[in-house]
Amino acid sequence: METVAFAHAADAHIGAQERIFMKEGEKKALSDLVDACIRDRVDFLIFSGDLFDSNVPSMSAATAVAHELKRLKEAGIPVYEVHGSHDNSPTHSSMIEVLEGAGLLINVYRPVHSGDLMGLEPVIGPNGVKIYGMPGLREGREKEYYALLERGTIEKEPGKKIFVFHSAIEEFRAGRFAKMEAIPLSYFPKGLGYYAGGHVHQQIIRDVEGYGVIAYPGMLFAGWGVEDLQDYSINGGGFLMVNMGESVNVEPIKNSPVALEVVSRNADGLSSEDYMKKLEPSKDYSGKVVLIRLGGHLSSGRVADISSVYLRNAYTKAGAIDVMINRGDLSGPERKILRAGSASQLEEEIMKQNLKGQIKPDVAKALLDILSREKMEGETDSDYEDRLIKEAELILEDILRSKKLRRSN
């Protein structure tokens, strides 16, 4: 069997960023990945989920991604993917399906019935490599499918094999990912050589006895929340270049298309006036996007006294090309004001505070997304209502199916 060379990326979350320079950074990170694939003449690209931040992204985000995937297609480089928890839609109304239909992506999740278990058919890639895939689902619900996975047949298949997945692994969890929903390593088929992971926004490369190299490339750019932005400011984004022959060699490629610096100041024991002074820029920030993280508890004054306009002007004068302000960890004598890094984060926080465990925020958001769908051209009111009801029913059916699987196990 010949050596195969491929790129492995994940978690681009195209569409997550709301500031213009960060939006451009998302697109530049993807373009840089494609440039590297073409320059190094890789055999293929593996994308382990969450290409987009939403299953129905903006036209601008979708157009940018389609342009880059077309470049790969024209260069003869296939792209193999599994859906991530952000890409996935129980109604299959996802931009990923559109790109697959256009021949720009190949979904390697090919489930087959195997008695009471679920088997996987491989996609045969360049030089005969066999590529298997498992998607990520909302709230980690794919765990039930891993429990039903018929691993023996996959393990017995000869030749070079790759397993593409979008889930955390229990034994690998650490730091801010320690409580993440995860799959036990024992649920994965053994001996495949390379396991191309996604979902964990952290670079992990381990050679595990009995399995092979298990790798997470981390975020392609800056992910989708303030903690991801913090990590990006320290480690950057990136992807992996892999050579798979008699042995597996993995080369991390770092990429930071936007220079981001985080300014974090604690307000404990300070008045709002003194805290504003503490937040003043203390150096030159030329050419950088600045994220100001406000945190702690003011001794007097109000959270509203911390002027975003003043801070943006001050840091712009110090050379910053853009300034983002996160107030999520700041409180004062008055009731804490909820602020999040993006509209989607704010929406999620409000749901967590008000749903009180009756329904999970991800499910509520999925149902809310359906209600925000617009009528299609030529669609009657009746057909429009029927379509929304059908999509909502599919989400609820998916939840009930998962509950039944849990009870049966």
| Cα 377 from chain centre | 32
The two three-digit tokens of residue 132, written as one number: 């298997």
Query: Would the CA dihedral through 164, 167, 173, 176 be positive or negative?
Result: positive
For residues 216-254, one letter each, b for 16 or more C-beta atoms within 10 angstroms of the residue's C-beta and e for the rest, the string is bbbbbbbbbbbebbbbbbeebbbbbbbebeeebebeebe
The two three-digit tokens of residue 172, written as one number: 């690998």
Residue with structure tokens 């709002």? 272
Q: Is 83 a catalytic residue?
A: no
User: CA-CA distance, 236 to 254, in Å (whole number)?
Assistant: 6
The two three-digit tokens of residue 202, written as one number: 């952290």
Query: Residues 42, 75: contact at Cβ < 8 Å?
Result: no
Query: Residues 114, 124: contact at Cβ < 8 Å?
Result: no
User: CA-CA distance, 365 to 339, in Å (whole number)?
Assistant: 18
Query: Residues 12, 198: contact at Cβ < 8 Å?
Result: no
- Identify any residues that bridge with 240 across adjacent strands, giving them in sequence order: 8, 252
Query: Residues 50, 12: contact at Cβ < 8 Å?
Result: yes
Catalytic residue among 86, 166, 199, 201: 86
* Alpha-carbon dihedral angle through residues 104, 108, 109, 113, given to the nearest 10 degrees: 120
Q: Which residues are catalytic?
A: 86
